[in-house]
Amino acid sequence: MKKLVPILVAGLLLAIVACGPSRRLQTVRREQLGATLSLSRKELEEERHVIARATRDTIRVTDALGSRMYLMKAQRDSASGEMVATDVLDAAVVTARFRNVAERHGRVDLRFEITVPEKMLSSDWQLRFYPDLFLLGDSTRLEPVIITGKEYRAGQLRGYEHYRRFLSRIVTDSTRFLDRRNLEIFIERNLPELYRFRDDSTFLTDEQFRSALGVTGKEAADHYTLWWRRRRNEWRIARKDAMFRKYVKVPITSDGIRLDTVLRNIDGDFVYQYTQTITTRPALKRADIVLSGDIWQGDVRCYAMNRTEPLTFYISSLSSLADDSEHYLTRIIERRAAANDACYIAFKAGDDRLDTALGNNASEMARIRDHMNELLENEKFDVDSIVISAFASPEGTLRSNEALTRRRAASVAAHYAAFAGDSISFRSRSLGENWDLLSFLVDTDSTLTPEEKSRYLQHLEIAEYDRREQALSGEPYYPYLRKTLYPLLRTVRFDFFLHRKGMLKDTVHTTEVDTLYMKGVSLLKERDYKGALACLRDYRDFNTAVAYVALDYNASAMAILQELEKTPPVNYMLSLLYARAGDDQKAVRHYLDACRADGSYVFRGNLDPEIYVLIQRYGLHDDSDQPFNP
């Protein structure tokens, strides 16, 4: 009876363990449970915070006709339907199955989350989830997400341990198969003269062994080999793969898997934030994600969940804003031409030494070298000379800064002269303190308050630069200017002076289709932004600005757009740039001007996240999707 009690207890425990997963599996099957696929709540929450966090509670906007309106952070009241002011947007459960995502540098991040209900999680199960990506009719299986129970993983590890023990029984030292004792006895009894070699360290060749014993060493070893042990060892070696499959039914691997996590304490739903980056391509306007999955117990699939409804991402690409109308030129072709580019080379304050390891100097200088190579290899132009001009930040005296920028320009010129050799003439000059760029940076800065910006404008009335800088240094926000904005003022400008190859007259009049420009537009629509910019850089028109914005060269795009006629496309692009810079007032003004002139931008604004945030933050459209009209 005493022996029976432990057996009964062990049997009862085994029955309890066996019934637990079975009941859970019955629940999963009965309720047809499955993981849910949804938009990333983390990303949506961050977006809601951005929408709620306006730079000011109310902004005043003056449109192109001179009318004024006041916009406040607002949301629509569910009872009255009116837009009402709010400081914090209430949290809401998002059930939308689609989202607008923006392309950046030819790529798009698709962020979604996989939520697994607690009822599907069991210690001795492994859950495998497979996201499928659908693009332009093609499907691709993304890296799976694996959720492994603690006991399931313990079973996997036990299999590896059994296999390790099997491998440990494989003999790698062939001498262990010899019957050494009987071989030694035989030699001692029958060949005592040979037995003396037992303790002799002298090398014994196979011929010496044969002359003493009448057989070779190999023949003797073969005779006294335990062949049954050797054959068993060879059988084990031949069975290695089969034994691995026997013991390790589900191998542990990390290759091609997005996540393999082991759950130890199951106290709620499991949520995984999944990010998939895709490269955009022509005609790609949407991407769909569908999730499937199954439950495994050991090496047996015991449940397959239904495929989820697709999650759709609508891809917003700036390439769709490109103006692809035929570009004809009636122009005067001059023998001489010029091009310019800006290189943001960082210098330490008061220093003229060129340090390629400082900041982004290496990448910026490589970009200029690439531009220089393009000009040197250009089939239409030869380079006559390059003038390198340097700017300085305002700290220090005007005289010392002018001298400093001359030395900086000379330092950069010497660097590129060594690179180009004698084929190009380099000249350097000083452009002094860069107050114009500082004023633009202050105007578009999202950290400085309106009062601080107003104080800065008052200091600009001081004509003498040294007195202006001295007055500015007394402001509380001056350390921020000195640390954050001043380093951006130490720029170097390159002016390339060219002449057309083989052209003798100063000017030639012609009317033609600009094939280079149209190639740039084609590359822009194909989302080859770097190639498009190489073709469009010198035109400095709207399409050039689109290429700059697509590559996040926002300052270069802003400089072009501010010079263009304020058409709806130009206003829309300015709105996007000001939104990126955090200037809500200007962003809203330009967006509303674009919408009033062309209603299609009402719908376009919902595709670009920067504009969408403004629409939601200030309630710019009513239910009829018409522009907000004060």
Decide which of 564 and 501 is more confident. 564
Neighbours of 227 (CB within 10 A): 9
User: Residue 482 gets which letter from DSSP?
Assistant: I
Give, in order, the Cα–Cα distances in Å from 293 to each of 21, 116, 207.
18, 11, 70
Q: Which pLDDT score, from 0 to 100, does residue 432 have?
A: 87
Q: Which pLDDT score, from 0 to 100, does residue 191 have?
A: 59
Decide which of 10 and 292 is more confident. 292
Alpha-carbon gap, residue 615 to 601, rounded angstroms: 12
Alpha-carbon gap, residue 185 to 41, rounded angstroms: 81
Decide which of 190 and 273 is more confident. 273
User: Residue 56 gets which letter from DSSP?
Assistant: S
Q: Which pLDDT score, from 0 to 100, does residue 186 have?
A: 61
Ranking 121-135, 153-167, 477-491, 568-582 by mean pLDDT, the lowest is: 477-491
Neighbours of 309 (CB within 10 A): 12
Strand, helix or coil for residue 460 = coil
Give, in order, the Cα–Cα distances in Å from 55 to each of 58, 84, 443, 583, 622.
9, 18, 14, 8, 23
Decide which of 505 and 378 is more confident. 378
Average the pLDDT over 515-536 and give the result.
Answer: 91
Q: Which pLDDT score, from 0 to 100, does residue 543 have?
A: 95
| pLDDT reading at 189 higher than 70 | no
Ranking 139-148, 195-204, 233-242 by mean pLDDT, the lowest is: 195-204
Alpha-carbon gap, residue 438 to 444, rounded angstroms: 10
Per-residue pLDDT reduced to its tens digit, 195-219? 666 665 445 555 555 555 555 556 6
DSSP codes joined into one string, 269-333 = -EEEEEEEEEE--TT--EEEEEEEEEEEETTEEEEEEPPPPPEEEEEE-GGGG---S--EEEEEE
| pLDDT reading at 12 higher than 50 | no
Per-residue pLDDT reduced to its tens digit, 314-346? 888 888 889 988 887 666 555 555 666 667 777
- Do residues 494 and 500 lie in contact, with contact meaning Cβ atoms separated by under 8 Å? no
Q: Which pLDDT score, from 0 to 100, does residue 10 have?
A: 35
Ranking 70-84, 510-524, 560-574, 586-600 by mean pLDDT, the lowest is: 70-84
Give counts: helices (H), strands (E), the chain. Answer: 23, 21
Q: Which pLDDT score, from 0 to 100, does residue 300 have?
A: 93
Q: Which pLDDT score, from 0 to 100, does residue 312 have?
A: 94
Average the pLDDT over 385-393 and give the result.
Answer: 86
- Do residues 134 and 310 lie in contact, with contact meaning Cβ atoms separated by under 8 Å? yes
Q: Which pLDDT score, from 0 to 100, does residue 5 have?
A: 36
Per-residue pLDDT reduced to its tens digit, 93-104? 446 788 888 887
Average the pLDDT over 137-144 and give the result.
Answer: 92
Average the pLDDT over 182-207 and give the result.
Answer: 59
Decide which of 381 and 305 is more confident. 305
Q: Which pLDDT score, from 0 to 100, does residue 617 have?
A: 85
Average the pLDDT over 546-564 and give the result.
Answer: 92
Q: Which pLDDT score, from 0 to 100, does residue 90 have?
A: 38
Average the pLDDT over 544-549 and give the result.
Answer: 93
Decide which of 184 and 278 is more confident. 278
Closest CA to 622 of 96, 90, 98, 81: 81
Q: What is the mean pLDDT of the chain?
A: 79
Give, in order, the Cα–Cα distances in Å from 263 to each of 127, 371, 383.
11, 54, 66
φ, ψ (nearest 5 deg) of residue 569: -60, -40
Give, in order, the Cα–Cα distances in Å from 202 to each of 183, 195, 210, 322, 405.
20, 13, 16, 89, 84
Strand, helix or coil for residue 156 = helix
Q: Which pLDDT score, from 0 to 100, does residue 593 have?
A: 94
| pLDDT reading at 58 higher than 70 | no
Neighbours of 22 (CB within 10 A): 12
Alpha-carbon gap, residue 524 to 451, rounded angstroms: 41
Q: Which pLDDT score, from 0 to 100, does residue 556 have?
A: 92
Closest CA to 327 of 539, 519, 517: 517
Closest CA to 489 of 361, 353, 346, 341: 346
Q: Which pLDDT score, from 0 to 100, does residue 215 have?
A: 54
Average the pLDDT over 28-37 and give the result.
Answer: 93
| pLDDT reading at 235 higher than 70 | yes
Average the pLDDT over 274-300 and give the result.
Answer: 91
Closest CA to 72 of 50, 94, 92, 57: 57
pLDDT confidence bin for 56, thresholds 50/70/90: very low
Q: Which pLDDT score, from 0 to 100, does residue 100 have?
A: 83
pLDDT confidence bin for 6, thresholds 50/70/90: very low
pLDDT confidence bin for 7, thresholds 50/70/90: very low
Closest CA to 576 of 558, 560, 602, 599: 558
Per-residue pLDDT reduced to its tens digit, 440-471? 999 999 999 999 999 999 998 899 999 999 99
In the chain, where the domains are located? 21-151+255-316
Q: Which residues pair with 279 in a beta bridge?
A: 107
Closest CA to 147 of 178, 106, 177, 117: 117
| pLDDT reading at 311 higher than 90 | yes
Name the CATH superfamily, with its identifier, for domain 21-151+255-316: Immunoglobulins (2.60.40.10)
| pLDDT reading at 231 higher than 90 | no
Closest CA to 375 of 341, 329, 335: 341
Average the pLDDT over 376-385 and give the result.
Answer: 73
Decide which of 611 and 383 is more confident. 611
Q: Which pLDDT score, from 0 to 100, does residue 8 have?
A: 34
Q: Which pLDDT score, from 0 to 100, does residue 195 have?
A: 60
Ranking 125-129, 345-349, 354-358, 452-456 by mean pLDDT, the lowest is: 345-349
Q: Which pLDDT score, from 0 to 100, does residue 264 have?
A: 66
Decide which of 84 and 171 is more confident. 171
